[in-house]
Amino acid sequence: MPERNNGADTKTQSYTYADNDGGLYAWLQNFTSRIGDGAGDPEEEFLSLVRLVANCKPNSNFLEIGCGFGRILRIIEHSVGSVVGLEPDFERFRACRDDFDDGDRIRILQSTSGEYIDSHPGHHFDIVMVSMVLQHVPTGTCDRILRDVRHLLTPEGVAVIATTQQEIERFAFQWSPDFYSEEEFNRYAMDFGNHEWGLPVRAFSKASFRRVLELAGLSMIHWGQFSYIRPEKLEWVASAFHVDPEAIRDLGTSQYAVVRRGAIPSALR
């Protein structure tokens, strides 16, 4: 097995996430769930799937890697047996801990998944969640987080993993109009603390998402997409992404997979 500690290029003590979620609500107004009249949360498809999985495993122990301020924890906290939330950014960790950690059934730790594995050998989870994390980390860290997911799952466990989607894979920075090479993206993503263009944002294609999951030995049970561009915003988003509007009209800008432990690819054994 290759090294699985994702602390190597994500230094927990000094890792900072270059956003405070302040503009999130306004950003989400550009998208629709395509459910009902579309007036609800554009991420409803994904959030209701999370609710469903948690309620199907009511006594489960639940892990979220990169829990941020606890948006997902708020949905599942009363549906599962116990909760561990991991968050490397200190300010986000502290806010989440203050809101959720009860010192017993719900624990919030300032940690990456690799650090958690090293300090809690033998701990496994029935449900593992990685929501909107993979697109913001270097590609090597993404691969290691996914291998950690496989390692942390119980044999019957399931993981729900959500990230970005575009028609082809692209590497970008939040406030830059340009696209970058994978090498440039990785250099920028590793240089946290100096994110003058905002967050690093990797847009996965459906194929590249499937590839990183398979590479980590995760087998897909179910895939879905969500957060479609509102028709009146289509031209604007297409020109910002330099794409033909037709290519993205019916494409969810986010995607999720429900996975379980599969075979480890022979190249990694």
Here the tokens at position 56 are 């199907």
Stretch that binds ligand SAM, among 80-88, 100-108, 211-219, 241-249 (CB under 6 A): 80-88
Stretch that binds ligand SAM, among 60-68, 169-177, 223-231, 259-267 (CB under 6 A): 60-68
Q: How far is the CB of 132 from ligand SAM (least distance, A)?
A: 4
**CA-angle at 61, arms to 124 and 4, nearest 5°:** 30
- Residue 180 to residues 41, 186, 224, Cα–Cα distance (Å): 31, 10, 27
**HSE on the CB side for 191, CA within 13 Å?**
12
The answer to whether residue 65 forms part of the interface with ligand SAM (CB under 6 A) is yes
The answer to whether residue 10 forms part of the interface with ligand SAM (CB under 6 A) is yes
Nearer CB in complex with ligand SAM: 73/229: 73
DSSP class of 262: -
Q: How far is the CB of 258 from ligand SAM (least distance, A)?
A: 16
Beta-carbon neighbour count of residue 161 at 10 Å? 26
The answer to whether residue 50 forms part of the interface with ligand SAM (CB under 6 A) is no
Closest CA to 21 of 106, 98, 95, 100: 95
**Contacts with ligand SAM in 92-111 (CB under 6 A)?**
92
Catalog residues that contact ligand SAM under the rule CB under 6 A.
6, 10, 17, 65-68, 71-72, 86-89, 92, 112, 131-133, 136-137, 141, 145
